[in-house]
A = this chain, B = another copy of it.
Amino acid sequence: MATLELMRKLTTSGTTKIVLLVLDGLGGLPITPGGPTELEAAQRPNMNRLAAEGCVGLSVPVSLGVSPGSGPAHLALFGYDPIKFDIGRGVLEAFGIGVRVGPNDVAARGNFCTLGPDGNIADRRAGRIKSEAAAPLVARLAEIKIPGVDIEVQPVKEYRFVVVFRGEGLSAEVDETDPQKTGVPPMPALARTPAAQRTADIANEWIAEAHKALAGQPQANGLTLRGFSGDPNLPKYRDVYRLRAACTAVYPMYKGVSQLVGMDVQHFSGDSPANEFAHLKTIWNDYDFFFVHVKPTDSRGEDGDFDGKVKVIETVDAALPALLELKPDVLIITGDHSTPAKLRAHSWHPVPLLLWAPATHMRDAAQEFGERACITGGLGRFPATDLMPLALGHALRLERYGA
């Protein structure tokens, strides 16, 4: 596997343009034995033409059998080993709702819980309290002040919220307070290193104030904090790949992960693939690499909505001509992971991938873009972390290794 260190040595500047179009959760499964997957069922004349002209394969996001979350799956697509570069849950949760986590910040994911009269946890998720009921409680927590730090608290969904501590000298080396079982009280936040003691003290002080603010609530009268984490300091695209990279996405989390690797997050009107491609046209001369994210393939998959997922793929396909008019040198169409409607969840199945680079690709026998065609595709089956080296190679942006 090519490492970031090797890429840093070999990447060279160039004028070629690379587009990475990610249909989130693209990979699927047939819902009837012998039937097509969502991708195979879609009317997708443009993708099929590109597959026939170019080459296809399957990418493995983390490792065989392992279903990734969106964070690690995107890191892998971007070339960062998701096992090595572990973005904390607190940071991911903050990104998911558009809350910034800067270099001096520590984020944690919060869960409301129900405490019994003995102070022990009776329900770790506060009876899955509704979002509307949780919102005013989160607002109360947001009013808590601790000297020396700024604190932001934002609701996520139901019993989940995010808290971000901001200030000098904070450390994410703090253990979670969730005992992961009922019948015992929440644990105190414990520092893993001496440097994290102040952060742990601040967290405990905040938790004590929060418990006072929640006293008397029927469901959410307590809370736990998990996944203390800070800016993971990822290497940046411009340094590792010498690419000026732009992110065109609608959902906050994907903007957040892109920002972590140094992409410029774009603002544009509308939220359809056609809107995204139209925006690319306006920034085409300003960047070398364009990450375009399409979310609803994953959402429909998680809903178990096979036909809905098919329709999203068809929408993307119908919009593709506008993207192709820009004449990218390398166009990759893939997913970050599979989300088969049949499973209503992210899955481990390798992800169909199409690479079209007319100046450099090896045309294979594939005549369409689909899971089964990808099995025997010319790119074979490879770790998702090898995609960026493949893209850079096909864009003639890598120097020869050795003489």
Chain A residues in the interface with B (C-beta under 8 A): 1-2, 6, 10, 29-30, 33-34, 37, 53, 58, 62-73, 82-83, 86-87, 89, 92-93, 96, 343, 345-350, 358, 360, 362-365, 371-372, 375-378, 380-382, 386, 388-394, 398-403
Q: Whole-angstrom distance from the CB of A109 to the nearest CB of chain B?
A: 9
Known A34-B363, A66-B6, A363-B30: A398·B1 in contact at CB below 8 Å: no
Q: Whole-angstrom distance from the CB of A226 to the nearest CB of chain B?
A: 11
A392 to B63 Cα, complex, angstroms? 12
Q: Whole-angstrom distance from the CB of A180 to the nearest CB of chain B?
A: 13
When distances are taken between beta carbons in the complex, the residues of chain B under 8 Å from A375 are 364-365, 376-378, 380
Q: Whole-angstrom distance from the CB of A369 to the nearest CB of chain B?
A: 16
Excluding A68-B400, A349-B362, 19 further A-B contacts by CB distance (< 8 Å) are: A2-B62, A6-B63, A6-B83, A33-B363, A64-B386, A64-B389, A64-B390, A65-B398, A69-B401, A71-B403, A73-B402, A89-B403, A93-B403, A345-B400, A346-B400, A347-B360, A364-B372, A364-B375, A365-B372
A403 to B337 Cα, complex, angstroms? 13
Determine whether the beta carbon of B68 is less than 8 Å from that of A402. Answer: yes
Q: Whole-angstrom distance from the CB of A12 to the nearest CB of chain B?
A: 12
Contact of A402 among B10, B30, B64, B86 (CB under 8 A): B86
When distances are taken between beta carbons in the complex, the residues of chain B under 8 Å from A378 are 372, 375
Known A346-B400, A348-B398, A401-B82: A66·B2 in contact at CB below 8 Å: yes
Contact of A65 among B2, B72, B82 (CB under 8 A): B2
Known A68-B400, A69-B401, A376-B375: A2·B63 in contact at CB below 8 Å: yes
Contact of A58 among B371, B380, B394 (CB under 8 A): B380
Determine whether the beta carbon of B58 is less than 8 Å from that of A393. Answer: no
A33 to B357 Cα, complex, angstroms? 12
Q: Which of A10, A70, A96, A362 has the most CB of B within 10 A?
A: A362
A392 to B372 Cα, complex, angstroms? 23
Determine whether the beta carbon of B70 is less than 8 Å from that of A403. Answer: yes
Determine whether the beta carbon of B6 is less than 8 Å from that of A72. Answer: no
Known A58-B380, A63-B2, A362-B349: A69·B400 in contact at CB below 8 Å: yes
A399 to B402 Cα, complex, angstroms? 34
Q: Whole-angstrom distance from the CB of A232 to the nearest CB of chain B?
A: 12
When distances are taken between beta carbons in the complex, the residues of chain B under 8 Å from A65 are 2, 386, 388-394, 398
When distances are taken between beta carbons in the complex, the residues of chain B under 8 Å from A358 are 33
Q: Whole-angstrom distance from the CB of A30 to the nearest CB of chain B?
A: 7
